């Protein structure tokens, strides 16, 4: 079993410096590769597109999609549960810049319960087999900016009658960062909601429809670093 860990990234050097040692410790006795998918421009972040493009550079059997600000604790398992797509996050503790615990008043109210159980939240870290990623056609690359792409991915899994599992335990630490949520009047934020509401219309659009300019660098500790820009959507239908 080979693990491919994809980390979407831009301007989070401090977070990456904390996450990578934790991943080295988790995977030190396993066959693995880490793909840092860096969006190398100043445009709105394109999470789905970064995941899709990075997937093409992976060689693993199990693909782990991993936010740079989610750091695993000792009880986190990166194994698929019953060989199904799996969400390994059960609890999240939010940290300050100095890595102390945040006060509840400093955490958005919608995340207060994460310290006990994340509930049905489908984001942060999730994983599936290489075959299942291809089966669902990867991520919808039409999402631009913040929000909703991970929810559509969950729906794509369900559309293919794939069972989405959640581990019984799995504590992650969420590193401090500014709130990415845009204004409700943001045009891409509005469009992302529209895409989610009409996701069935776009199931044919996936990882093969997004192209970009990619510079690839091989670094130490099984890290493949991709600098990605100039995204191009290609309708192959």
Q: What angle do CA 6, 36, 209 make, to 5 degrees?
A: 65
Asked if residues 97 and 69 have their Cβ atoms less than 8 Å apart, the reply is no
pLDDT at 91: 97
State the burial class of residue 116 (Cβ atoms within 10 Å of its Cβ: 0-12, 13-18, 19+): exposed
Over residues 195-222, the pLDDT tens digits come to 999 999 999 999 999 999 999 999 888 8
With a CB cutoff of 8 Å and minimum separation 6, the contacts of 233 are 141, 142, 209, 210, 211
Give all strands (DSSP E) within 133-204, no chain letters: 165-166, 171-174
Widest CA span of the chain, in angstroms? 50
Inter-CA distances, 144 with 16, 190, 213, Å: 23, 10, 17
**Residue whose pair of structure tokens reads 């080295």 in the numeric block:** 24
In 3-state terms, what secondary structure has residue 126?
strand
Over residues 99-121, the pLDDT tens digits come to 999 998 888 888 899 999 999 88
Distance separating alpha carbons of residues 25 and 230, to the nearest angstrom: 35
pLDDT category at 237 given cuts 50, 70, 90 is low
pTM attached to this predicted model: 0.94
pLDDT at 220: 83
- To 10 degrees, the CA torsion angle through 47, 52, 54, 55? 140
pLDDT at 179 over 80: no
**Residue whose pair of structure tokens reads 């429809």 in the numeric block:** 209
With a CB cutoff of 8 Å and minimum separation 6, the contacts of 190 are 184
Radius of gyration over alpha carbons of the chain, in Å? 17
Asked if residues 146 and 196 have their Cβ atoms less than 8 Å apart, the reply is no
Inter-CA distances, 54 with 40, 44, 60, 100, Å: 13, 18, 12, 33
Token representation of residue 24 = 């080295």
pLDDT at 132 over 90: yes
Distance separating alpha carbons of residues 1 and 9, to the nearest angstrom: 25
pLDDT category at 150 given cuts 50, 70, 90 is confident
Q: What are phi and psi of 34, to 5 degrees?
A: -115, 125
């Amino acid at each position: 079993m080979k693990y491919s860990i994809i980390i979407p990234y831009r301007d989070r050097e401090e977070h990456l410096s904390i996450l990578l040692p934790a991943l080295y410790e988790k995977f030190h006795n396993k066959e693995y590769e880490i793909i840092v998918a860096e969006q190398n421009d100043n445009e709105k972040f394109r999470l789905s597109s970064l995941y899709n493009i990075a997937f093409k550079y992976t060689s693993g059997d199990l693909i782990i999609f991993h936010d740079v600000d989610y750091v695993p604790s000792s009880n986190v398992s990166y194994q698929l549960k019953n060989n199904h797509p799996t969400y390994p996050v059960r609890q999240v503790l939010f940290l300050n810049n100095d890595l102390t615990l945040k006060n509840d008043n400093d955490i958005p109210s919608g995340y207060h319960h994460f310290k006990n159980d994340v509930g049905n939240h489908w984001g942060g870290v999730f994983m599936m087999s290489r075959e299942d990623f291809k089966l669902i056609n990867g991520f919808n690359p039409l999402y631009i900016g913040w929000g909703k792409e991970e929810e559509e991915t969950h729906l794509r899994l369900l559309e293919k009658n794939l069972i989405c599992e959640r581990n019984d335990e799995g504590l992650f630490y969420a590193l401090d960062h500014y709130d990415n949520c845009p204004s409700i009047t943001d045009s891409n934020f509005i469009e992302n909601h529209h895409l989610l509401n009409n996701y069935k219309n776009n199931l044919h659009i996936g990882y093969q429809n997004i192209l970009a300019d990619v510079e690839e660098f091989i670094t130490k500790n099984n890290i493949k670093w991709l600098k990605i820009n100039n995204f191009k959507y290609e309708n192959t239908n």
